[in-house]
Amino acid sequence: MPGPVEDYREAAARCARLGEGVARLAALVRGWRVDAHIAPGPVAAAVVEQLALTAADLQIAAAEMADIGRECWQRAVQSDRRPR
């Protein structure tokens, strides 16, 4: 039966994978070229602005997932050091 160390390690790995995936999505959104799909004008400008905001939100979420992953890893290390 897995204990807290294994649970924290698994959570750390999941958070790392999620964070990496979200960071890739942020890069994809940042790199999307509106001019290839929408004619120039106010609609295109609004889409570009929304994409920039979305990319920023995704990057923040990726950083938060990385922080959570590090915290889970630290808890795994701390739990592993406790006497049983």
The residue range of the domain holding 48 is: 4-81
Within 10 angstroms of residue 39's Cβ, the number of other Cβ atoms is 8
pLDDT in tens, 25-77: 999 999 998 888 889 999 999 999 999 999 999 999 999 999 999 999 999 99
Nearest to 7, CA basis, from 68, 66, 76, 67: 76
Q: Total domain count for the chain?
A: 1
Is the separation of the CB atoms in 9 and 48 below 8 Å? no
Handedness of CA 9, 11, 14, 19 (dihedral sign): negative
Distances (CA, A) of 63 to 30, 57, 77: 16, 10, 21
pTM of the model: 0.82
